[in-house]
Amino acid sequence: MHIPTKKLLTMILLATFLVVPFQNCGNQFVLREENGLHLMSKGCDAEIFSIFENGFYPFLRQNCSKCHIDGGGGTGFFASPSVIEAWKYFYSDVSKIARNAVNDEHNPPYTGSKHQAVINQLLSSWNKAYQTKKECEIASNPNLDPLQRPFKLVDKQITAMPNSNTFTRISWSLYDEAARDDQKNLVPVTFDIEYRVVTPANQPTRLEFQNPRITVHAGEVELTDLRLLLNGMVLTDVTRYTQIKATFNSATPTPFTPAPNLTFALTPNLTVPFSLAVEFGRVRPNFSSITPPPQPGMPNTPTPQPSLPMRVTYNDLMGNNPALNVFRASCVSCHNQNRADGRLNLEDFARTQLLANTILSRMRNFANPMPRGGLLPADRVNLVQIWVQNGAPRD
Ligand code: HEC
Ligand code: HEC
């Protein structure tokens, strides 16, 4: 085909004209957004981001963009024309945004109960995607300390509709009833909470909770962010317990919240059987003060506690005195010249001294103990602590 030169020139000019301004005008922004989108559409965020982009985001753009954009006056730019900016605001505040969306008092007609059905549906997909994201993150990071992860307890089936006048108490052992296998047998704590199901006149059915409590059977534990789950999904409107961080050490049931008041979630179509579960954001046990239970076959009599020396040396820990030789008795079988598990050879003083803090921390780490079979009694660990405090001397 023959194209006249003049026509070709016009075509090229036109093309340049079209392309150049397109590349220059606002390209910074488009590129940034594309990078962000690219990141979001990969990895563990892909599904949850797509729920936002194709579900919540169009809803928020339509109903909230009058105010919830830069310069619009509303708190949080979750309706921003930039989906990435909107996502950042949205992700950190999902429950609050969902609650305001159905709030008849916030800014009707933009907000109100007419949105309830849509929001319920969006939240339900959101919760599923959130679980998937968490599982994906865990799967892609298998070496994470199990106690660095959220701590979920098993689902408990409720087969008969609970009494609406009185509360029923339900409890979980964090020791035996962790949902994840690698979080079992780590935290000697019991959690319990009261619940009931009520349907006030002309109002939807609600699941009410009150009086969550913690019982610590050994040592102490720091707990953060309690979430309640119905049928495997987080009840996002129960936020009373979610911003809590507290340390517990009492062997008698202690309130989890400063004010153990009632809190509830609207659950209009609740039918039996349903399941309840709880999840903590973090569980951090501290066992430095406990001694493990006696080994099977050992006489169950308390051994008298020898008084601790003021000074402990590497030669003591590696020597022949059974009152002091913690390394020799409990570690050297795996950490020696010929077999240096974890590349730690305790027969090499310089190396051992260098790793003194790591050694002590592994000897206190209930979740990742050394020796691997379980922590040594506190008085043995204390000898190593004194050695470290002395500056890890050779003799
Ligand atoms: C006509 C303006 C306007 C519209 C429309 C509007 N908001 Fe707001 N919103 C505000 C203002 C102003 C504030 C800050 C003052 C306040 O908290 O009420 C706010 C605050 C909020 C907050 C923060 C509340 C807090 O306690 O921090 C949320 C969440 C929220 N709005 C959600 C929404 C959602 C979701 C929509 C759309 C479905 C929406 N708003 C529509 C004006 C608006
Ligand atoms: C039955 C074998 C065994 C015994 C006994 C044992 N360890 Fe270990 N240790 C290992 C193995 C395997 C690793 C590597 C895997 C790991 O880190 O869990 C390791 C890793 C370590 C590490 C991590 C080294 C590093 O550089 O991160 C330290 C520290 C440690 N052990 C200290 C001790 C101490 C102290 C004792 C005695 C109180 C002890 N181990 C007893 C097998 C053992």
Surface-to-core class of residue 280, CB atoms within 10 Å of its CB (0-12 exposed, 13-18 middle, 19+ buried): buried
Q: Which of 307, 338, 327, 334 is nearest to 394 (CA)?
A: 327
- How far is the C-alpha of 137 from the C-alpha of 153, rounded, in Å? 18
Q: Give residue 144's pLDDT.
A: 66
Rounded-to-integer distance, Cα 162 and Cα 156, Å: 13
DSSP state of 342: G
Nearest CA to 136 out of 233, 42, 44 is that of: 44
The Å distance, Cα 280 to ligand 2 centre, comes to 30
| pLDDT score recorded for residue 41 | 63
What's residue 294's pLDDT? 40
3-state secondary structure of 265: strand
Residue 176 beta carbon below 6 angstroms from any ligand 2 atom:
no
The pLDDT of residue 9 is above 70: no
Question: How confident is the model over 39-49, as a mean pLDDT?
Answer: 79
Q: Which of residues 3 and 243 earns the better pLDDT score? A: 243
CB 335 within 8 A of CB 317: no
Establish whether residue 128 lines the binding site of ligand 1, counting it when its CB lies within 6 angstroms of any ligand atom.
Answer: no
Residue 281: C-alpha distances to residues 9, 149, 179, 245, 298 (Å): 65, 7, 14, 9, 38
Give the model's pLDDT for residue 284.
Answer: 86
Average pLDDT over residues 345-373: 87
CB of 371 sitting under 6 A from ligand 2? yes
Q: Is the pLDDT assigned to residue 77 strictly greater than 80?
A: yes
| pLDDT at residue 3 in the model | 42
Q: Quick one: CA dihedral 318, 319, 320, 324, positive or negative?
A: negative
pLDDT band at 174 (very low <50, low <70, confident <90, very high): very high
Q: For the residues of 49-60, what is the DSSP string, one character each? A: HHHIIIIIHHHH
At 37 the pLDDT is: 64
Return the pLDDT at 202.
87
Alpha-carbon 258 to chain mean position: 22
> Which tokens sit at 285?
């046990």
* pLDDT above 60 for 61: yes
Ligand 2 and 330: CB distance under 6 A: yes
pLDDT tens digits, 153-168: 999 999 999 888 899 9
pLDDT at 143: 65
Q: How far apart are CA 80 and CA 85, in angstroms?
A: 6
CA distances from 252 to 29, 128, 189, 192, 241 (A): 58, 36, 11, 12, 20
Q: Is the pLDDT of residue 4 over 80?
A: no
| Average pLDDT of span 127-147 | 78
Task: Report the alpha-carbon distance of residue 74 to residue 57 in Å, rounded.
Answer: 16
The pLDDT of residue 236: 78
Reported confidence tier of residue 38, pLDDT bands at 50, 70, 90: low
Q: Indicate if the pLDDT at residue 21 is higher than 70.
A: no
Any idea where the domains of the chain sit in the sequence?
Answer: 32-139, 153-286, 314-389
- Asked which of 13-22, 26-35, 56-65, 150-159 is least confident by mean pLDDT, the reply is 13-22
Is the minimum distance from the CB of 328 to ligand 2 under 6 angstroms? no
First-to-last CA distance in the chain?
94
Alpha carbon distance 355, 360 (integer Å) = 9
- Of 108-122, 205-219, 222-236, highest mean pLDDT: 108-122
Mean pLDDT over 125-141 rounds to 82
Residue ID of nearest Cα to ligand 1 atom 20: 75
Mean pLDDT across the stretch 255-282?
87
